[in-house]
Chains A and B, each alone.
Chain A
Amino acid sequence: MRAAPDQRTIRRLSLGLIAAGLALWPLAVPAGAGLPPDQVMGDPPPGFEPDFTGVFTDAEIEQIIEGMSLLQLQAAMTGDRFPDLDNDGIPDVPEGEPGDLDIRPGDQSLADFIAVLNGEIVGADTQALADRAAASVPAGQTVPTYAETELLLENDSSKLQGHCAGVAVSYDADGKPIDAAVGVGSTGNGLLVDTFGDGAGQRAFTTDNRFEVRSDGQVVYFGYMPFGGTLGASGQDGPRDHVWEIKTSGVSLDSGGDDNPNGNNANAGVVDMGENIPGPLRFTGNADVTGWLYARTNGLWCAAEGHVHFGGPFPPVAGGIATVLAAGGFLGLLFNSRPALTFKA
């Protein structure tokens, strides 16, 4: 897929900011970083709720911007899985890499996905995948179920737990960065930290400091699992035979999975809302987002919870419908629903 020129520009900038986020991980995770995956499992201690306001100094925030030139990190991230699409010497982040189990438009549904997750195999392809996964789960290993994974998300602020880390950068319709956050799972402190824009240096994805997304913009993400391995490498100990789901207010937004036979432990992509959401259907508002990923083979998991604000221009269709309904109802009540006094001779 060849990107439009303006999108290529955005993606180059995104890689720089992602590299900046990566550069700040050691600041956010002073302990646990670099440990083997089997030594960094576990949740934060009960009641662990530190005040991370001002966790980054101004100088460190400046380092984010300077990080745009961290070409070594860019190269480490991209490798051979982020090709130079336009042959300009700069790797391009693809528009996401769908996994084998990702539910695409027109697919049957979430029911099949849940069946795979629960071991109730419904198709030949998933049967082979499940057999391979089941055979490789070590004896005695506790495998969290779908419900148990959800129980991890009991905090009403924000949280990133598990063997993962990631960076998200949000851009407006003109390609200007407006918000960014870095998070490390239980290998660190489980917190998501705001690294750019309003609220920089504070805890990110909370109700007081929502991750700002434009309904006509883009979000670039980079995820890494498990944290502590070789950055962006293939053939590593990444999540094999994994499944994932993203929900808002209990409603599933998207889900999928991949057998990941090469054990890739990093992925990046672009969520282009400006391209995927037609103008008349754009919206604004707040959303509570949860997501999880579980690798059936090696037990790696990651769960996150956060709060997002979708901003952008006034949505003409949704706003128009809301106005017509509210005004029509109000005027109807005022002039056409009041009790009426009549006289009978």
Chain B
Amino acid sequence: MTDTPPLDVSFPDPSATGTIVRHPIRGALYGLMLGLGGAMWLTLAGVINLLDIVPTVIVVVAGIVIGILWSMFAPAKKPKSAGAG
């Protein structure tokens, strides 16, 4: 038999209160990256015409909005120490 190392699991203080921290700025920046990359791909694929500003801006803004909404309303991550692994 081999010794099993003790499982490092900790639980929050039962008296602690949960707080959800949101990152809208971070979400907007990642959304901007997603929008820019998506707009470039759509252009290379011929969905958006080359140098066509309006649809390009729409896709980029949509990416930013998606990023902000995701950062505000997505299911919250639990603290790593609260899970079983």
Contacts and interface: CB of A to CB of B under 8 A. Distances in A.
Contacts of A336: 23, 26, 30
Given A318-B44, A329-B67, A343 B38 contact: no
Interface of A: 248-251, 283-288, 309-310, 315, 318-319, 321-330, 332-333, 336-345
5 contacts: A286-B50, A310-B50, A329-B33, A332-B29, A337-B27
Contact of A340 (B38, B63, B76): B76
Contacts of B13: 343, 345
Contacts of B51: 248-251, 287
> For chain A, what secondary structure do more than half of its interface residues adopt (helix, strand, loop), or is it mixed?
mixed
A328 B83 CA distance: 26
Interface string B6-18: 0000001101111
Contacts of A310: 50
B1 interface: no
A249 B52 contact: yes
A329 B76 contact: no
B61 interface: no
Nearest to A331: B30
B67 A341 contact: no
A283 B37 contact: no
Nearest to A328: B33
B40 A321 contact: yes
Interface of B: 12-13, 15-23, 26-27, 29-38, 40-41, 43-46, 48-53, 63, 66-67, 70-79, 82
Contacts of A288: 49, 52
Contacts of A324: 37
Nearest to B66: A333
Contacts of A337: 23, 26-27, 30, 67, 70-71, 74
Given A249-B50, A249-B51, A333-B70, A283 B32 contact: no
Nearest to A322: B40
Ranked 5 nearest A-B pairs via Cβ? A326-B37, A329-B34, A325-B37, A329-B33, A322-B40
B50 A329 contact: no
A153 B16 CA distance: 69
B20 A339 contact: yes
Contact of B46 (A285, A327, A329, A343): A285
Given A337-B26, A344-B16, A322 B74 contact: no
B22 to A, nearest CB: 5
A343 B37 contact: no
